[in-house]
Structure 1
Amino acid sequence: MSDFALVRQPVFGGTGSLIGYEIRFNDADGSGSFAQSFLSGTFDLVRNRLPAFVSTTREQLLADAFLVAEPGSVIVLLPSWLTPDTEIDEAIARFIAAGGVLAIDEVGVEPAPAEAFLPRVNWVRIDSRSGDPATINAICDRITQQAPKGAIKLVASHVEELDQYEATLERGFDGFQGTFFSRPEPLPAADMPQSTVAAMRLMGLARDQKISDRQLEDVIATDPVLTFQLLRLVNSAALGGRGVSSIGQALRLIGRNAFLRWLAVAVAAARKSKNGVDQELVRQAVERGRLCEQLVGSGRDSGTLFLVGLFSLLDAVFRMPLPEILERVVLSAEANEALIDRTGPYADAINFAESYELGLFENASEIAKEMGIDPSKLGEYYTNAISWTAEALGAALDSQEAAPARKAS
């Protein structure tokens, strides 16, 4: 792989707001990766102006590795096994004096050596799988009794099920992270905005080479909101500032695959919500689409890769079963196989994305090799997906805010 690869995983507050990210690096001990990511600008790009939880080692602490970052931008996760000594105490004192924020990572049932630092830390992360609610409460009581009242904030990690979330929320945890938030229960009664349904149908038409650009333009023109959104999207900075005045011109300028991509972004961005979990799901879906799109080769089409990546999370985005969503759009048989059965030439792209997003870098690297993708490019692909999505969704959301109201018939 490259000198460093990283992945970010969201940390949500009790109201569903996004309060930060955990950033994980591909090397086991983090040596050098944080510094490289910071100096390259990747770290600040990925944390998106929010605090970033980053694991550390004894060596990094002694080397003052995190002093280069803006105070408060990094919440350093001390490993629970870290034992106090004079050198560590002095390094921690330097970090705190510079405005640094500390956390203790993965505190469990048994007291850990790093709990000696509790009077000096702001956060403690507890594995929500450590036991039943009574066990979790006992861990919390032990932590809060050793720290100044109200000084410690608690993060529940590995939240995978509803009962884990409810138990830690009831206890008063301040932060939550885990796969539970990327696969909420679908609501069969949920529905989509009409413009979203129209856009999804257009995806099927746009993939049909028998349908001319003129026919597509005529269909899109019947929906003024969608027309406005798409023109705003294709006029974004991603096109280098070239002006586009009609859907037909957009199709001719950017081609069917890029047009499909922008259509897919409009679909994802239609899921409006002030809830940070929902917003992060939309962002993750588009990021996954862009990440998968870059895995071209061995006969895989980039447009299909984008759609497969994006649609693999749309059930969570729209709170609808995926088969019901796929009924509204005509994707290729290979795309449907990948999404429903995890078979066919595009299934590995979803498997890769899921592994990478979980920080399973070795597994992701092996899948990439099997796909004929150079593993050293994966970190670049991921950061490209984040920056592209930020730009694309910014244009999509701007178009929603400024979209003209539909006239009553």
Structure 2
Amino acid sequence: MGRQAIYDRLGDVVAYELLFRDTAGATQAARRSADATSRVIVAAFTDFGLHELVGGRACFINITREFLVGELPIPFDSNQTVLEIIETVEVDDAVVAGVEELVGRGFTIALDDYTPGGHDRLLPLATYVKIDVLGNGVDVAGIARRCREEHPNVQLIAERLETEEQLHRAFDLGFTLFQGHVLGRPHVVSMVGLSPARLSRLRLVSALAAAEVDFDEVVTLIATDPVLTYRLLQATNSAASGLTARVSSIREAAVLLGLPTIRHWVTLMLVSDLAEGTESQLVATMTRARMCQTVAQRLDISGDVAFSVGLLSGVAELIGQPPAELAQQLPLSEEVSAALADGVGRLGHVLKVVRDYENGDAVGLAGILNPGGAVKAYLAAMSWCNELMGATTAPDEARTSPAPAST
């Protein structure tokens, strides 16, 4: 989560813009997708809490078309939040009607990177207008003058201010609010430990991995998370690009791809959101889970339960929490908890031989799968995981066939 301050003419911070960042060290905002908007919303209102991020100040959140026209819900009230409509949104009748409805509900509207033309229809509905002082060929003075004359109640925000000279010029042009690196760069806000929202997602992971979960339960569990729903539908429609009609519900996606595939896709998405690890770390976690499943099935142990044991042990490492502490916070069976916390029982044995193999000790795994079988199984698990990653994290490049389902 990134946060950049907006200042008034006295130099006081009056608002923050919340920005999605995709790595712990990033300061550049990924602002152009509904997925980025969804992640900002989840982080701001669940992981961190709005008060912790902005105090009593206004909070600007970039909003894409999907949210404006009602395809995706805005899951918070209008208090303190400013919906910043990004410049790439094409304004048509549906967008205008959606913004009118949002204003009627009490939301405050800002227009991002405004230039005369496409967003003129939204000016009467806006409280803030942001003008990029570095925009190529942008008549900053002319745009500011026109906005003040035609919409005197609109507050003008000069953004992307890089130098003192640009800041002074923005003052002279009558801007009332200011944002840019000369005043303050985006600040990355990180969270340590498990928030209630992260704990909730962990519980969803463990519920989806449970052996007894059925079709209706999976559909219901996924549907409780609007961000997850959006991402899954996006990935499903990309993977099944040959369909004549778009998949529009989780139930349709589950029927099309099959329950095992949906469970694994969603599990990977959730684990990716839970931990700020690298792709290689995510691959290692999912590969461990798959290997535990394979070994357990050879020993006539539930593969799904073993998958969850391997998965949760990897998640514990990703979020930096001891497996025993993680197990105490989740509604797990005694056998699963014992395997995670103490490494005991049949599931504990499965987890141990897989982890030993990861660390270069192949004796235990070779005794179950034989030496050649152990190598083959591990490579197959990695291949499965990489295909799963490709289907869910790069939907535009996904194959037309879904990721393979487990038994």
Q: Report the TM-score, using the length of structure 2 for normalisation.
A: 0.42
Higher relative contact order (CA 8 A, sep 6+): 1
Q: Report the TM-score, using the length of structure 1 for normalisation.
A: 0.42
Which has the greater radius of gyration? 2
